[in-house]
Amino acid sequence: MGNIAEEFLEASELKVFEMDHRRIINHNIGKYDVSVARGLSRMINLDNSKKKGHAIKWKVMENLDKFLPEFEANFQKRGGKVIWANDLEEAQREILNILTKANAKTVIKSKSMVTEEIHLNAFLESNNIESVESDLGEYIVQLLGQRPYHIVTPAMHLSKEDIAKLFHERFGTPADATPEQLTQKARELLREKYLKADVGITGANFLIADTGSIAISENEGNARLTTTFPKIQISIVGIEKIIPSIADLDLFWPMLSTHGTGQNLTVYNTILSGPRQPGETDGPEEMYVILLDNGRTNLLAQKEQRQGLYCIRCGACLNVCPVYKNIGGHTYETAYTGPIGSVITPHMRGMEDFKHLSYASSLCGACTSVCPVKIDIHKMLLLNRRDAVNEGLVPKKEKWGWALWKKGMLKRGLTDFFGGNMKNTLLRFFFKNSWGHFKDMPEVAEKSFSKQWAERSQTPKHEED
């Protein structure tokens, strides 16, 4: 077992018994559950919408080589520039080239999981460029020096008291400040950053092929400010975010908002089709879209698992996952957490280092049942486990253990050969650590059921008086 897997198990064991964490996360997810249930109840034919979304994303993934060049050509027609980045280092290098050429020293960012994936803030900081998150949740975790906890709600693991304490220590606001007061303070601090930033960096929820546009959904208006004030805009987007037509937003926008937060529609939905055009009053003078692979084509090559790329990042599977709700988002040590992160990360970052995430599941299927594009998530986790075994990425102890188990299960004589005491000793010796320090080992009966049945069947019946 690699170091990453061992650290995951250790961190999970600590986090799962942290009662304050459990209280906060259950409270926050509970509020989402109520809102999402209300939002989904307004959908006339939810299952049909899910099937339609699945079919559109299937079409896209089977024809990615056609839709991406179509987007590129249409975006370039309006003066936009498209850059293809194969991996994390290439994406970082291309962004730095743009910033260096413009002599940029300050960046304002809107919420983007892809920028987390390529560790953009740390990279820019190492090159003496200030990068400030403008989404309130992202801003809070940036102040704490943490990664986002959740795909949709970066600061879900914090209570309002935690945030009030942070702002009190950093900005001198009252220790008992209300959420409204904290938001007002963040607004004051960030407005100046929008006005002074040399470059705005965003992600995108969707790439639209037929119009050559990007679509961004948000609730705070920070993405609109990020794409309006700075003279240069860079949007970095995973290649799987493509959809065929602007008409498809009619389906994907409400599905994203209802499954993510329970809203009918996200507050701000923006479509951007290039830099400022003649006669337009605002917008950047230069606009770049960086199309990021970074392991996505590895997943695309897996015919059975490529549907992991259908994900629209709504976060619904995280909110229902019993494992995520206990071990939390930071434990995964990857930008994409929860069930969908466990599906895609082993392919994007290496099966050898991240295969353990596919075992971090109860296989209850709750994730699959809530997915707005019908990704068969728990089946994908099983397929990842299969691939890890087929690639020989399991310890010898595990291989020998299962070989002996199979042999014993297929031959009744071997199963009954060892008594209960011997079986209990073997269980304690081989499985005590993996079973967990806080759980009691199961006790095997002294005699197996078949042995007891055989003995009982051989006992002569009492003669009737």
Tokens in use for 395?
A: 């310890």
For the chain, how far is it from start to end, CA to CA, in angstroms?
Answer: 66
Task: Tell me the two tokens of residue 341.
Answer: 């992160």
Q: Which residue has the higher pLDDT, 14 or 49?
A: 49
Q: Are 40 and 254 in contact, with CB atoms under 8 Å apart?
A: no
pLDDT greater at residue 425 or residue 232: 232
What confidence score (pLDDT) does residue 464 get? 47
DSSP letter, residue 177: -
Domains and CATH numbers, the chain: 43-294 (3.40.50.10420), 398-458 (no CATH)
Give the distance between the most distant pair of CA atoms in the chain. 110
Q: How far is CA 38 from CA 34, 35, 163, 256, 265, in A?
A: 6, 5, 28, 14, 13
pLDDT the model gives residue 460: 63
Query: 394: exposed, middle or buried (C-beta count within 10 Å: 0-12, 13-18, 19+)?
Result: middle
Average pLDDT, stretch 436-464? 78
Q: Give the pLDDT confidence of 276-325 residue by residue, as tens digits.
A: 999 998 899 999 999 999 999 999 999 999 999 999 999 999 999 999 99
| Spatial contact of 117 and 294, defined as CB atoms under 8 Å apart | yes
Who contacts 274 (Cβ-Cβ below 8 Å, separation ≥6)?
Answer: 75, 77, 78, 79, 80, 212, 287
3 state DSSP class of 55: helix
The CA distances from residue 392 to 45, 204, 431, 443, 450, in Å, are: 44, 37, 21, 32, 35
Per-residue pLDDT band at 465 (split at 50, 70, 90):
very low
DSSP 105-146: -EEEE---HHHHHTTHHHHHHHTT-EEEE-SHHHHHHHHHT-
Following CA atoms 251, 254, 258, 259 in sequence, which dihedral angle do they give, to the nearest 10 degrees? Answer: 40
What pLDDT was estimated at residue 116? 97
Q: Beta strand pairing status for 213-218 and 130-133?
A: unpaired
| Placement of tokens 């960096």 in the chain | 201
Q: Enumerate the β-bridge partners of residue 63.
A: none
* C-alpha atoms less than 13 angstroms from C-alpha of 379 in its C-beta half-sphere: 10
Query: What local confidence, expressed as pLDDT, does residue 431 receive?
Result: 79
> Which pLDDT tens digit goes with each residue over 3-17?
899 999 999 989 998
Q: How far apart are CA 248 and CA 213, in angstroms?
A: 13
pLDDT grade, residue 240 (50/70/90)?
very high
DSSP class of residue 464 equals P
pLDDT for 461: 55
User: For residue 1, what pLDDT is reported?
Assistant: 46
Q: What six digits make up the tokens of 293?
A: 């692979």
Residue 176 identity (one-letter amino acid): D
What number of other Cβ atoms are within 10 A of residue 395's Cβ? 9
AA identity, residue 173:
T
Put residue 56 in one of left, alpha, beta given phi > 0 → left and psi -120 to 50 → alpha.
alpha
- Please give the DSSP secondary-structure letter assigned to residue 359: G
- Shortest CA distance to 94 belongs to which of 107, 104, 106, 85? 85
pLDDT tens digits, 100-152: 999 999 999 999 999 999 999 999 999 999 999 999 999 999 999 999 999 99
Reference 454, options 422, 418, 421, 412; nearest CA is 412
On whether the CB atoms of residues 438 and 432 are closer than 8 A, the answer is no
Q: Are 151 and 336 in contact (CB under 8 A)?
A: yes
- Tokens 């914090």, residue located: 158
pLDDT recorded at residue 428: 82
Provide mean pLDDT across the span 64-76. 98
Two tokens, residue 375: 């990704």
Angle, helices 338-349 vs 377-390, to 10°: value is 30
Q: What mean pLDDT is reported for the chain?
A: 94
Alpha carbon distance 345, 334 (integer Å): 8
Q: Any idea which of 12-26, 311-325, 375-389, 421-435 has the lowest mean pLDDT? A: 421-435
Q: What span, in angstroms and rounded, lies between the C-alpha atoms of 152 and 316? A: 9
Q: Which of 370-384, 406-420, 425-439 has the lowest mean pLDDT?
A: 425-439
Q: Are 303 and 318 in contact (CB under 8 A)?
A: no
Percent of the chain with pLDDT over 70: 98
Q: What is the pLDDT of residue 2?
A: 58
Secondary structure (DSSP) of 236-303? EEEGGGEES-GGGHHHHHHHHHHHHTS-SS-SEEEEE-SSPPTT-SSS-SEEEEEEE-TTHHHHHT-T
Range with lowest mean pLDDT among 233-237, 286-290, 434-438:
434-438
Phi, psi of 243 (to 5 degrees): -130, 150
pLDDT at 275: 97
**Lowest-confidence region among 209-218, 295-304, 413-422:** 413-422
pLDDT at position 409: 84
pLDDT digits (tens, 9 = 90+) for 168-196: 999 999 999 999 999 999 999 999 999 99
